Amino acid sequence: MDRLSLVLILAVGPTLTGSFLTVVLGLGYYSWPAIAGAILLGLVLTWPVSYVVSRWIKRDDPDFDHTRRKGSLMPDPDAPEV
């Protein structure tokens, strides 16, 4: 599970949907099916685009280590204090 992609949904969803809606309205399609199609396309593509952006961010981050041990619900008692 990619938690960063879940956070990115909040930014990518409205941006993607608004962009599709702007393109549809800019091309002169003012009918409800065209507007609903643009909104539906934005909603359907929100999670995949968020996932791709999340992978891109993590790939370019030098401090991200995907091999580190996954944390549990309880913190490690032997870990140093932050």
What pLDDT, on a 0 to 100 scale, did the predictor assign at position 65? 72
Rounded Cα distance, 30 and 15, in Å: 20
Q: Which amino acid is at 51?
A: Y
Which of the residues in the chain have pLDDT under 50? 82
What pLDDT, on a 0 to 100 scale, did the predictor assign at position 24? 97
DSSP labels for 31-52? SHHHHHHHHHHHHHHHHHHHHH
Backbone torsions φ then ψ of 8, nearest 5 degrees: -65, -20
